[in-house]
Amino acid sequence: MVLTGAGISAESGIRTFRGSDGLWEEHRIEEVATPQAFARHPALVYRFYNERRQQLLSDTVQPNAAHHALARLEREYKGTVNIVTQNVDNLHERAGSHKLIHMHGELLKSRCVSCGDVAAGVVTLDQHDQCRVCNHRGVLRPHIVWFGEVPFQMEEIAELLAHCTLFISIGTSGNVYPAAGFAKIAAESGARTLELNLEASSTPGNFDEARYGPAGTIVPLVVDELTGSS
Ligand code: BJW
């Protein structure tokens, strides 16, 4: 089981949340990524996600060596590889990963708060958009898990945590739960735990082993070891 966070996409040009440049127009992520912020300042929140979609769809943002290495791991590893990503970008799937859970949602999807329809291929979204299924207006929100909301596919994730033999955490600071607690759960279920990060996360004690460096460099090396290519 591989858990990924914003650090794996940093070398693709997508900013992390809690790095020194991790602000959006002076707003902390906690100020724009909550249901309360969306209720109070919908235009601000729509614009935050519209800008991030524009960036994700620009030619300069491409999967990097770490995303490609994980797709190779899925193809070549002798066991099953499941990726659970906290990232809302689509760089894992563009690199060729298939067994993938987006626990915090997906940037390029919208959700109707009236009928629940989830639509893909979203570029911009605002208060006036109409749901393609129920036809109501002003009901489409980003398909994103905000603070205080329950992440997606938690039952499948619990199954993976209970049965995985190796748990690898890549590029996540360990500040946001429930993901920050996954390594501990996996370890308690008997898995070996490995952290790959630029620097130690907030929960280094949850890992049997850690390797520090840019994901684009260290993830391919670990994948080589796991597939016997080194
Ligand atoms: C590199 C690198 C390179 C850089 N190579 N590495 C008190 C205690 C415990 C919990 C709570 C609490 N108070 C409130 C809570 C719950 C809350 C929470 O955790 N709050 C904390 C702030 C304390 N959590 C929630 O509300 C969650 N829901 C929940 O708990 O529901 C209850 C429930 C759960 C389960 C079952 C039943 C009920 C929801 C959390 C939603 C998070 N949403 C966001 C934004 C939406 C997505 C978006 O807009 O993009 O998700 S917040 C933001 O943080 C985003 C990320 O996915 C998430 C994690 O961030 P990540 O990926 O770790 O990024 P950074 O920036 O923090 O770290 C980057 C890392 O990369 C660093 O370590 C760098 O070193 C590294 N790095 N360059 C390798 N080149």
Concatenated DSSP letters for 138-207? Answer: S-EEEEE--TTSPPTTHHHHHHHHHH-SEEEEES--S-STTGGGHHHHHHHTT-EEEEEESS--S-GGG-
Residues with CB under 6 A from ligand 1: 5-7, 10-11, 16-19, 22, 29, 33, 86, 88, 104, 144-151, 154, 171-173, 175-178, 197-199, 201, 214-215
Q: Which amino acid residue places its CA nearest to atom 54 of ligand 1?
A: 176
Cα(128)–Cα(195) distance, rounded to whole angstroms? 44
Report the separation in Å between the CA atom of 175 and the middle of ligand 1, taken as the mean of its atom positions. Answer: 6
Cα(85)–Cα(169) distance, rounded to whole angstroms? 10
Q: pTM of the entire structure? A: 0.97
Q: Which amino acid residue places its CA nearest to atom 64 of ligand 1?
A: 6
Best residue for ligand 1 mutational test, from 16, 159, 170 (most atoms within 8 Å of Cβ): 16
Reading the chain (230 residues) residue by residue, the pLDDT tens digits are: 999 999 999 999 999 998 776 767 778 888 889 999 999 999 999 999 999 999 999 999 999 999 999 999 999 999 999 999 999 999 999 999 999 999 999 999 999 999 999 999 999 999 999 999 999 999 999 999 999 999 999 999 999 999 999 999 999 999 999 999 999 999 999 999 999 999 999 999 999 999 999 999 999 999 999 999 87
Report the separation in Å between the CA atom of 5 and the middle of ligand 1, taken as the mean of its atom positions. Answer: 8
CB 197 within 8 A of CB 43: no
